[in-house]
Amino acid sequence: MASSAGGAFDASFSSYWERFNSTKRCFESDSGLARPIHIVDLPKSVDPQSQGTQTIRKRDISNIEALENLLNDGAHREIQFRFISIYQKNSWSRLQITKPMLKRIVEFYSINAEFLEVPLCFFDRLADEDQAFCVPWTMTEDSRSYQMFYTFRYAEHKGHPNESWVIRQSGVYHQYDKGKNASLFILLDPVPDSVAQKRILECFANSHEKIKKNPLLLHSIVHTSYFVRWREYLAQYERNLLSIADTTTATLISKPLRISHDTLCKVRSLESRFTPLPAIIANFVDMLDGLEALSRILSLTGSLTEDDQQQLANRLDNCRRQSRTFTRTAQFLQQRSINTATLLADTLAFRNQGVAQEQNSSIIILTRSAVFITVITLIYLPWTLVTGLFGMEFFELDPKTRLLITSPQIWIYFVTAASVTIVTACLYYVMAGFPRLHRCTQMSEKNKDFVPLSLRRGCTDVENSA
């Protein structure tokens, strides 16, 4: 299974090593910061009288020195199945392994450089990147072994207030030695002590003979640990969508609305939960096809019994049917969320139009009243002005000359009137200017690229609480 260190690598794969060496987001820089990786060995010969837990050897490796000692131990030649578990602290953090440690594993087992694409998918992030990307099923064959690797995404319940479900990814690498009938299986998990890891360790302890008999068994264990959760994922978000859709359908425009623009944002958020599923599941189906093709090859070479191959083919066929069902359901729910969002937008638009019509009717009535008052004012204002002006003591009739005498203090009237007019005009412009300034402030805030905290992608999977 193992080969000598320092094996030559194909120059055509240098781009993978360049990316591996240049990345700063995928691996821990210091082994002191990383948690130990788990290595579990299943020896070729097992004492039939021993307990299941005594047949396997489990080690926790936390630095390159301990890894070198393990790889250079001659006992690895007597191992039929080696399982290596590498994981993240949470699905938005780095892999808990250093570059030298992973590079040493790749070199020691002559792992194809294309495999580096798998660990490069696990990196430190602040947003929900690569929502639908998966490394496709990739298999290489040489005279000594088969090598296969891939990543797949799955749904996991988290129960966070913003998002009860999250989509995570796992990576798998499997090297099968044709001559020794031995396997190396590497599992990359988004969290420590994942469901798949626990089930694999349980199978090592209690069903090790099945693992020796069927080298592809661990693939089935990993897939069945997560695949069925898509049903619960879709059901949860369908319930959320139905509650909004029913409320929207039963809403009358003429009555107070029970929906708002926030409701529309929620529907669009639900739509985004269904959008990546067809791509994710299509990649999973491609992986199932590759696994079935490999099982037929192993059956022809005698590495896998015909019965085991047939059982595996039946399970994979059932998974493909379920995958098609999940895809159709996701597409239906995505279309329904689009229709609900359209109905919501139309309802809000029609409601706004109704409010605008009511306001226009009120404005028409007010305009008629204003016109009436203006006409009356135009009739009475001149007479009132003249009456007020002559009612003041600025004018009097000279009984001798029969002429009007103007008071020398009449300038007080004009100065006072002009001052009051200026004060009134200033008061008007001040009162009219504040609303205009407030509207300008609101427009500047709307122009900012602002997303509410509850709707940010970075808050939909708060992995630090894991």
Taking only the tens of pLDDT, the chain with its 466 residues reads: 544 444 444 545 688 899 999 999 899 988 788 899 999 998 876 555 555 445 688 999 999 999 999 998 866 667 889 999 999 998 889 999 999 999 999 999 999 999 999 999 999 988 888 889 999 999 999 989 999 999 999 999 987 777 889 999 999 999 999 888 899 999 999 999 999 999 999 998 888 888 888 999 999 999 999 999 999 999 999 999 998 888 777 666 666 667 777 888 888 889 999 999 999 999 999 999 999 999 999 999 888 999 999 999 999 999 999 999 999 999 999 999 999 888 888 777 777 777 777 778 778 787 877 777 877 776 766 667 666 766 767 777 778 777 777 777 777 777 777 887 787 778 777 776 666 666 666 666 655 555 554 445 554 454 554 4
What pLDDT does residue 444 have?
62
Which pair of tokens denotes residue 343?
A: 């109905």
What pLDDT does residue 2 have?
47
Based on the domain organization, do 62 and 168 belong to the same domain? yes
Residue of 24, 102, 19 whose CA lies nearest to 63: 102
Based on the domain organization, do 221 and 236 belong to the same domain? no
Residue of 27, 216, 17 whose CA lies nearest to 114: 17
* Position 88 in a domain: yes
What pLDDT does residue 454 have?
47
* Position 249 in a domain: yes
Examine the fold and report which residue of 191, 208, 226 is the final residue of a domain before the chain moves on. Answer: 226
Based on the domain organization, do 274 and 125 belong to the same domain? no
Examine the fold and report which residue of 193, 209, 226 is the final residue of a domain before the chain moves on. Answer: 226
Find all residues with CB under 8 Å of 309, minimum gap 6, and list them: 295, 296, 298, 299
Other beta carbons within 10 angstroms of residue 221's beta carbon come to: 18
* Position 367 in a domain: no
Rounded to an integer, what distance in angstroms lies between the CA atom of residue 136 and that of residue 79? 29
Based on the domain organization, do 343 and 400 belong to the same domain? no
Residue type, 39: I
Rounded to an integer, what distance in angstroms lies between the CA atom of residue 62 and that of residue 69? 12
What pLDDT does residue 13 have?
67
What pLDDT does residue 424 have?
73
* Position 404 in a domain: yes
Based on the domain organization, do 16 and 107 belong to the same domain? yes
Among all chains, which residue has been given the structure tokens 């300038």?
A: 411
Other beta carbons within 10 angstroms of residue 120's beta carbon come to: 18
Rounded to an integer, what distance in angstroms lies between the CA atom of residue 311 and that of residue 117? 31
What pLDDT does residue 99 have?
94
What percentage of the chain's residues is helix, strand, coil (to nearest 5)? 60, 15, 25
Other beta carbons within 10 angstroms of residue 347's beta carbon come to: 19
What pLDDT does residue 373 have?
80
Q: Where are the beta strands (DSSP E) in 2-161?
A: 27-28, 37-43, 57-61, 79-87, 95-98, 138-141, 145-157
Cβ proximity of 251 and 350 under 8 Å: no
Among all chains, which residue has been given the structure tokens 């780095």?
A: 94
Based on the domain organization, do 350 and 414 belong to the same domain? no
Q: Is 408 helix (H, G, I), strand (E, B) or coil?
A: coil
* Cα distance between the two ends of the chain: 36
Counting Cβ atoms within 10 Å, is residue 436 exposed (0-12), middle (13-18) or buried (19+)?
exposed
Cβ proximity of 88 and 122 under 8 Å: yes
Residue type, 232: E
Which pair of tokens denotes residue 156?
A: 């996991």
What pLDDT does residue 7 have?
44
Distances, alpha carbon 294 to alpha carbons 110, 155, 196, 239, 418, in Å: 20, 26, 22, 40, 99
* Position 364 in a domain: no
pTM: 0.76
Strands 27-28 and 95-98: parallel
Based on the domain organization, do 80 and 203 belong to the same domain? yes
Residue of 263, 114, 125, 117 whose CA lies nearest to 190: 125
What pLDDT does residue 187 have?
97
Based on the domain organization, do 118 and 214 belong to the same domain? yes
What pLDDT does residue 6 have?
43
The structural domain count of the chain equals 3
Q: Which residues pair with 98 in a beta bridge?
A: 28
Based on the domain organization, do 280 and 407 belong to the same domain? no
Examine the fold and report which residue of 309, 336, 359 is the final residue of a domain before the chain moves on. Answer: 359
What pLDDT does residue 150 have?
97
Based on the domain organization, do 46 and 120 belong to the same domain? yes
Q: Which residues pair with 174 in a beta bridge?
A: 148, 185
* Position 380 in a domain: no
Helix runs in 207-260, H state only: 208-213, 217-226, 229-249
Q: Is 85 helix (H, G, I), strand (E, B) or coil?
A: strand
Rounded to an integer, what distance in angstroms lies between the CA atom of residue 170 and that of residue 87? 9
Based on the domain organization, do 214 and 231 belong to the same domain? no
Residue of 136, 104, 109, 101 whose CA lies nearest to 121: 136
* Position 344 in a domain: yes
Find all residues with CB under 8 Å of 7, minimum gap 6, and list them: 107, 110
- The CA angle 158-162-166, to the nearest 5 degrees, is 40
Which pair of tokens denotes residue 29?
A: 């820089």
Task: Report the chain's C-alpha Rg in angstroms.
Answer: 39
Residue-range definition of the domain harbouring residue 412: 392-444
Based on the domain organization, do 189 and 79 belong to the same domain? yes
